Structure 1
């Protein structure tokens, strides 16, 4: 688990939207373990009750079952909170291509509702999940926060609009915001099921089930895969930072190294083979490239290091080892 910082989090009140989701539930757990008071807002469209079942009876935890598309739900959940960690969204580029309207309603209208509720409640800081998809068709590597291209999907548009709204809410209303551009986050509690499952849990489940994983494209596409504990660290540092230049910025959240899909599957097979040697021999299949996919993704994390003191501990290998251990225990 990520570094314990009990003293700083003791008694602070935090709303985690999307708190039953993959990233949100991990944030809730970490905050509760460090004696924070946590409100969780989720409509369970993509989140799961089992992700939060272990702390439903925790004295510092309150679940609000509601939808960020409903302003009243947002206001009820944010009431009396010091901070907001806004994770609620409809992720997935393919989902946004199949259903751009719902993606926009949740990711843009819902985001605006949460910003409005945050403003009205006088919350100290609004930290939100932005996305590396904002870099769009920019071919510059590594990705630096100030150089972006044109979006390649409806999802990417919605996440860029989030950044624009956050900037305006600071300038017009004085709301303190920080956007975190997540790069391919993975780890415990990430759902391997469904049409829009992320690549790592999907591959892990297929390999455990002795099915051949299918790579979209030739396997040369690369990503800056980012383990969940690095993301928790970044959220907490963004929330609590008192650096005079930290707020009202966007930051890359990544490890700062890239791994091809072929390399990724090689590591997964190696790690899983420690539990089941037959996994070593499972063949990989190749399918067509996905519409809207960015070929290569690699983050510069210099800005986060200098302004927030970000120091990610988990590289891809260490993160995959921890993830495989968790999935083996929970999927078998």
Structure 2
């Protein structure tokens, strides 16, 4: 396992906010497998109890049913923590457009609560999830951490504000922070249901149900799709970073390859056809473009490679094969 290879000490207590969510539960699982003590803070607004059910009997796992919008809950969770992996947030550009107030309450006010609680508890390091959406209308490709544009959605604004707050807290209060700009993460436990489901699980379930997958736009928009195990690796490397020059900054978390939505659907059909040959004949349906969507996204991961030793093991094809196997065996 990655944590064993990186020799992460199990003597520390790690708080994972949003630990019952897609990314959070994968982080909890990886940390627990290597003997670490984990505190999970979640209010189950988007997280799912089934994601953490296997951990409930583990003596090293503590669940706190709480809300990051409540400072008391944040302080309770941080009280014994050495490190924080802050994943709790309301994702989705469309959700933020439909309800910018709730997105701001969770993603900005909740984030600030967590920073304050971590500072008050003398947490060693605060590693947090930010987003590729912070690049906004920047035309530069690939995306490099210090070149961003204007945000294109309320969600993007909230994530950029997170980065600004973390920078101020590191300079003002001395708390170590690392921001991880996730690029279109996918993999096991990602929810395929609901109005704001991410594109890969949503398309996967449509194909598994023999429904024509619906693509927003003409399918030419592209993304740097990032498998969950690459994200787990990056979080662990952020915990382990010991060079001061690698702290109090942000990193892209991606594979560094671009895939169009049309190419994505063809790969999904190819891999799912191994389980059901009828899926290969399903036709694509094209709909209107989504408001606030960035046309193309491709990350430079040079900074993460150089400063943190990041070496992602899963490209889009190997990641999709693993993800399709999980979806077919768990949700079919």
TM bucket, shorter chain: over 0.9
Q: Which residue of 2 aligns with 1:116?
A: 116
Secondary structure in structure 1 of the residue aligned to 2:244? coil
Q: Which residue of 2 aligns with 1:198?
A: 198
Secondary structure in structure 1 of the residue aligned to 2:74? helix
Q: Which residue of 1 aligns with 2:48?
A: 48
Asked whether the equivalents of residues 214 and 284 of structure 1 are also in contact (C-alpha less than 8 Å), the reply is yes
RMSD over aligned CA atoms reads: 0.9
Q: Which residue of 2 aligns with 1:289?
A: 289
Q: Where do 1:162-311 residues align within 5 Å?
A: 162-311=162-311
1:57-94 deviation digits (Å, cap 9, x = unpaired): 10000000000000000010111111000000000000
1:140-162 deviation digits (Å, cap 9, x = unpaired): 00000000000000000000000
Distance in 2 (alpha carbons) for counterparts of 1:178 and 1:219: 34
CA 1:323–1:2 in 2, change beyond 3 Å: closer, same or farther?
A: farther
Secondary structure in structure 2 of the residue aligned to 1:196? coil
Asked whether the equivalents of residues 6 and 34 of structure 1 are also in contact (C-alpha less than 8 Å), the reply is no
Secondary structure in structure 2 of the residue aligned to 1:234? helix
Distance in 2 (alpha carbons) for counterparts of 1:221 and 1:303: 25
Structure 2: gaps of 5 or more residues = none
Q: Which residue of 2 aligns with 1:18?
A: 18
Say which is worse superposed, 112-121 or 242-251, in terms of deviation. 242-251
Distance in 2 (alpha carbons) for counterparts of 1:55 and 1:277: 36
Asked whether the equivalents of residues 3 and 34 of structure 2 are also in contact (C-alpha less than 8 Å), the reply is no
Question: Post-superposition shift, 1:6?
Answer: 7.2
Distance in 1 (alpha carbons) for counterparts of 2:296 and 2:157: 19
Distance in 1 (alpha carbons) for counterparts of 2:49 and 2:311: 31
Distance in 1 (alpha carbons) for counterparts of 2:283 and 2:211: 8
Q: Does 1:92 align with 2:92?
A: yes
Distance in 2 (alpha carbons) for counterparts of 1:95 and 1:302: 32
CA 1:149–1:6 in 2, change beyond 3 Å: closer, same or farther?
A: closer
Q: Which residue of 2 aligns with 1:327?
A: 327
Question: Post-superposition shift, 1:331?
Answer: 1.1
Question: Post-superposition shift, 1:7?
Answer: 3.6
The alignment of Structure 1 onto Structure 2 pairs a total of residues equal to: 332
1:248-302 deviation digits (Å, cap 9, x = unpaired): 0100000000000000000000000000000000000000000000000000000
Structure 1: gaps of 5 or more residues = none
Question: Post-superposition shift, 1:4?
Answer: 3.9
Distance in 1 (alpha carbons) for counterparts of 2:274 and 2:331: 16
Distance in 2 (alpha carbons) for counterparts of 1:3 and 1:129: 19
Q: Which residue of 2 aligns with 1:130?
A: 130
Say which is worse superposed, 115-124 or 1-10, in terms of deviation. 1-10
Distance in 2 (alpha carbons) for counterparts of 1:321 and 1:3: 23
Secondary structure in structure 1 of the residue aligned to 2:204? helix
Distance in 2 (alpha carbons) for counterparts of 1:326 and 1:4: 24
